[in-house]
Amino acid sequence: MRQKIVAGNWKMNNDLSQTEALLTKLKKATKTSDSEVVVAPSFTNLWHAFEALRLSDIEVAAQNMHYAEKGAFTGEVSAKMLRSIGVGTVILGHSERRAYFNETDALLAKKVDAALNENMRVIFCFGEELKDRQAGNQENIVASQIKNALFHLKSSQWKHIILAYEPVWAIGTGETASPEQAQDMHAFIRSLLRDNYSDALADNTSILYGGSVKPDNAKEIFSKPDVDGGLIGGASLNAKDFFAIVNAF
C-alpha cells in the first residue's frame, strides 16, 4: 500500500512569529485520516518548526537545497545541513524554482542524488505549462521532466521518492485541474514507472497532486485512484483549511 501524504508548501511566507502561531494551531489540529502530514517552512524557520513539532506526527520538509556537500556557494544550504537539524524531507523541482531560478532537469538530477546520499526523502515536483496543455503536449513534457531527473535512479532508491504533479497553470491561480485531468496524468505517470521499472515500484510510489487544492475540492481530487495526496500552497497557510484538506481523505 502506498502512503497517502498531504504536504504544505509555505513558500516564502511566515516570519518567525507567524510560524510560531501557525505551528501552535497545527499541533492542536485533529487528524481523522491516515495520511502523513508534512509542512515546509522557509529555511530560517526550519529548526524552530522541527523542534516545535518533535512530539507531533507532523513531518518537516525543506523547500530546496544545493547539490554540493559544502563549499563556496554563498547563500546556499546543503543536504547535510538540513539533516543536521533533523530535516529528512526536501521539496525539489518546484515550478517556481524552475521558472525563477533557472533550475533545469540536469541540475535537479544532481540535487536528487545529493538528497538521497544523505538518506533524505524527496518530494519531486514537475508539471506542464498552460501552452503545453493547450497544445496537447502535457504527457510528453511530464515524461521528459521525470525521465531526465529521476530515471537514472536504481529501483531501490525509489522508496525515498514522492512525486508531485503540479500543472503550472493551476498553481496559485484558483484554477484546479479537474479530478479527471489529475487522474489521467497520475495514471500516465504510474504507467511510465511500470514500463521503466516494475509493477511493484509503480504501485508503491506516492503521486501527489498540487495546484489550487482547497477544502472544497480536495475530497473529489483525493477520491481518484491514482491520486495519493496533495502538495498544498496557499491553503496550507491556514491551519483550519490545511487540516480540512488533510482530513478530506
What residue ranges bind ligand 13P (CB under 6 A)? 9, 94, 166, 171-172, 210-213, 231-235
39 within 8 A of 58, measured Cβ to Cβ: yes
- CB nearer to ligand 13P: give 206 or 212: 212
Residues 223, 179 contacting (CB under 8 angstroms): yes
Catalytic, out of 94, 103, 128, 186: 94
Contact between 9 and 233 (Cβ < 8 Å): yes
Closest contact distance (angstroms) between CB of 200 and ligand 13P is 28
Q: Least CB distance from residue 195 to ligand 13P, whole Å?
A: 27
- Look at the block and give the residue holding cell 547563500: 75
CB of 211 to ligand 13P, least distance (A): 5
Report the length, in residues, of the chain. 249
Q: Does 94 qualify as catalytic in the annotation?
A: yes
In the complex with ligand 13P, the residue whose CB is nearer, 202 or 206, is: 206
Q: Which of 32, 41, 79 is nearest to 60 (CA)?
A: 41
| Residue 198: Cβ within 10 Å count | 13
**Min CB(156)–ligand 13P separation in Å:** 27
Question: 118 an active-site residue?
Answer: no
Q: Do residues 161 and 124 touch, judged by C-beta distance below 8 A?
A: yes
* H or E stretch covering 141: helix 138-150
Cβ proximity to ligand 13P, 185 vs 202, nearer residue: 185
Q: How many CB atoms lie within 10 A of CB 101?
A: 10
Of residues 93 and 202, the one with the C-beta less far from ligand 13P: 93
Output the residue with the shortest Cβ distance to ligand 13P.
Answer: 233
Q: How many CA atoms lie within 13 A of 28 on its CB side?
A: 9
Catalytic residues: 94, 166
